[in-house]
Chain A
């Protein structure tokens, strides 16, 4: 549905030197998928999103959505888009903003009030509906941004740092909203610094750095892969018996840190339990995506 083929974009600096923001990015996002874009600051995420929205044209390669240029796609059916920072005029009121956006989103006049009420309810901003945007907190502004993105049924959804400024309750609520947005004919792209969030929400995560696509991690595969990773095990009885099963394990009180693949971990734990170890917790020290991210941005 969304295709980027060897896409490149450079900016010309004040003194005429070209700065490559994006270079040689090839990525496809199918309908029904949720794909994350992760990368450090200045990695090229915003440029990629601007190209997907048709706000910037690629210098090299090609970007298409449903087989047409992004601008043509946007002008035909629109994209549900939540920007990293709310970019509405701050003198607008919450409800007014949503009515304006509903008009631009081609929500029929007869359905506009119902659509606005639905999204106000969905993101819990009823008490702020008459307030000016400048009177809202960062988290509430972000909820208004999310609300406007949900006004119309779109086949392409792009969220840029969607949980920026949200409290933990609304971060969790946001995950439910994204889960509800999954649809076989819809492609979702989420750009975020929050790897844990991407790991929970996405099917695949594209890791970009210095304008290049470093790796695409299929999140489910990464979680269950046979690669060795670092684990933290808590044993309330016989922690030494656990540590003895793993080469180089470090014991701190009841906690053991060791490196093993999933099969070796299970074998070692089974043996330790047979020797009297009482295991209460086992967890990777960092997420699989975090490992992939770290290795992608440091092995350039």
Chain B
């Protein structure tokens, strides 16, 4: 396999992703930065003052907002690449060249994951000026979320033309059913169905725990990671084997 064209194309892949990495930053600024700024003015303290009341508010705001921004950022950065290229017929010209399609999208996946991790890690570093938050935990939450969501999106994009709608449906249904059946609740069939769906709830639990500086149970982590790897490999096999145009 000749990987020279992919190596040569790497800066362009990075550039395509780099144009989107500001979106999660902006989202975090709007969802956390602006309200905190407002609250600091209201209680008449500087956001850098280390005031106990303000720190408590900031600490409460951090995990939920960071998780939401990481999830939305992962969807923005990691989804739609293959499905969009196929829908817009970009695949026709791209893959008339000596480039294996599966490797092309694996490269884009890795570049997206890497750049997102590099850039968004700045958020907890900056936020630590206000209140101490776990930088390593944020990085782990981001890597796991972006990997899992990216794999799910790539697999759905490889299977269907309506990848956006299907992704939202799978994500929401999984989250709801796994929430309802958590702790052995609900009938057996529903628990079984929730179990085979992508473990979105477990992903959210891990993410929340890491962002809150708590430790996580490794058994479920293997399930989430394994599911993610399985989805990524299946997506790449489908891209390699299935028709690139419809």
Question: How near does chain B come to A101, taking the closest CB pair, in angstroms?
Answer: 7
Q: Are B94 and A104 in contact (CB under 8 A)?
A: yes
1/0 contact string of A1-12 vs chain B (CB within 8 Å): 000000000010
1/0 contact string of B226-246 vs chain A (CB within 8 Å): 000000000000000001111
If the complex has contacts A55-B244, A75-B99, A81-B96, are A106 and B90 also in contact, measured as CB distance less than 8 A?
no
Q: Are B91 and A78 in contact (CB under 8 A)?
A: no
Q: Are A55 and B100 in contact (CB under 8 A)?
A: no
Question: How near does chain A come to B100, taking the closest CB pair, in angstroms?
Answer: 5
21 sample A-B contacts, Cβ–Cβ < 8 Å, listed by A number: A53-B95, A55-B91, A56-B245, A74-B96, A74-B98, A78-B96, A80-B96, A81-B93, A87-B90, A87-B92, A89-B88, A89-B90, A100-B9, A101-B93, A101-B97, A104-B5, A104-B94, A104-B99, A106-B2, A106-B5, A106-B8
Chain B residue contacts of A101, Cβ below 8 A: 93, 97
If the complex has contacts A55-B244, A55-B245, are A106 and B97 also in contact, measured as CB distance less than 8 A?
yes
Chain B residue contacts of A103, Cβ below 8 A: 5, 8-9, 12
Kindly report which residue of chain B lies nearest to residue A102, judged by CB atoms: B8
Kindly report which residue of chain A lies nearest to residue B16, judged by CB atoms: A89
Residue picked from A50, A103, A145, most chain B C-beta under 10 Å: A103
Interface presence of B52 (CB below 8 A): no
Q: Are A56 and B243 in contact (CB under 8 A)?
A: yes
Q: Are A104 and B2 in contact (CB under 8 A)?
A: no
Q: Which residues of A contact B (CB under 8 A)?
A: 11, 50, 53-57, 74-81, 83, 85, 87-89, 100-101, 103-106, 109, 145, 148, 158
Q: Dominant SS at the B interface?
A: loop
Chain A residue contacts of B91, Cβ below 8 A: 55
Bound complex: CA A101 to CA B99 (Å): 11
Q: Are B88 and A77 in contact (CB under 8 A)?
A: no
The 8 closest A-B pairs by CB, nearest first: A81-B96, A103-B8, A87-B89, A104-B97, A55-B244, A78-B98, A103-B9, A55-B245
Interface presence of B53 (CB below 8 A): no
A74-B97, A104-B94, A105-B97 given. 6 additional CB < 8 A pairs? Answer: A75-B99, A77-B98, A85-B89, A88-B93, A100-B12, A104-B8
Residue picked from B95, B97, B100, B246, most chain A C-beta under 10 Å: B97
Chain B residue contacts of A53, Cβ below 8 A: 92, 95-96
Interface presence of B1 (CB below 8 A): yes
Kindly report which residue of chain A lies nearest to residue B96, judged by CB atoms: A81
Chain B residue contacts of A11, Cβ below 8 A: 246
A-B contact count (CB 8 A): 79
Chain A residue contacts of B89, Cβ below 8 A: 83, 85, 87
1/0 contact string of B127-160 vs chain A (CB within 8 Å): 0000000000000000000000000000000000
Question: How near does chain B come to A98, taking the closest CB pair, in angstroms?
Answer: 12
Contact partner, A75, options B90, B98, B244, Cβ 8 Å: B98
Q: Are A87 and B96 in contact (CB under 8 A)?
A: no
Q: Are A109 and B8 in contact (CB under 8 A)?
A: yes
Question: How near does chain B come to A193, taking the closest CB pair, in angstroms?
Answer: 19
Question: How near does chain B come to A273, taking the closest CB pair, in angstroms?
Answer: 54
Chain A residue contacts of B12, Cβ below 8 A: 100, 103
Bound complex: CA A79 to CA B244 (Å): 16
Kindly report which residue of chain B lies nearest to residue A86, judged by CB atoms: B93
Bound complex: CA A74 to CA B9 (Å): 17
Chain A residue contacts of B97, Cβ below 8 A: 74, 78, 101, 104-106
Chain A residue contacts of B99, Cβ below 8 A: 75, 104
Q: Are B1 and A88 in contact (CB under 8 A)?
A: no
Kindly report which residue of chain A lies nearest to residue B4, judged by CB atoms: A106
Chain A residue contacts of B244, Cβ below 8 A: 55-56
Kindly report which residue of chain B lies nearest to residue A105, judged by CB atoms: B97
Chain B residue contacts of A158, Cβ below 8 A: 96
Question: How near does chain A come to B124, taking the closest CB pair, in angstroms?
Answer: 32
Bound complex: CA A74 to CA B2 (Å): 11
Chain A residue contacts of B245, Cβ below 8 A: 50, 55-56
Chain A residue contacts of B246, Cβ below 8 A: 11
Residue picked from B5, B89, B92, most chain A C-beta under 10 Å: B92
Bound complex: CA A89 to CA B94 (Å): 11
Question: How near does chain B come to A96, taking the closest CB pair, in angstroms?
Answer: 8
Kindly report which residue of chain B lies nearest to residue A152, judged by CB atoms: B97
Q: Are A106 and B98 in contact (CB under 8 A)?
A: yes
Q: Are B94 and A57 in contact (CB under 8 A)?
A: no
Q: Are B88 and A75 in contact (CB under 8 A)?
A: no
Chain B residue contacts of A79, Cβ below 8 A: 96
If the complex has contacts A56-B243, A100-B9, A109-B8, are A75 and B96 also in contact, measured as CB distance less than 8 A?
no
Chain B residue contacts of A57, Cβ below 8 A: 243
Residue picked from B90, B94, B95, B244, most chain A C-beta under 10 Å: B95
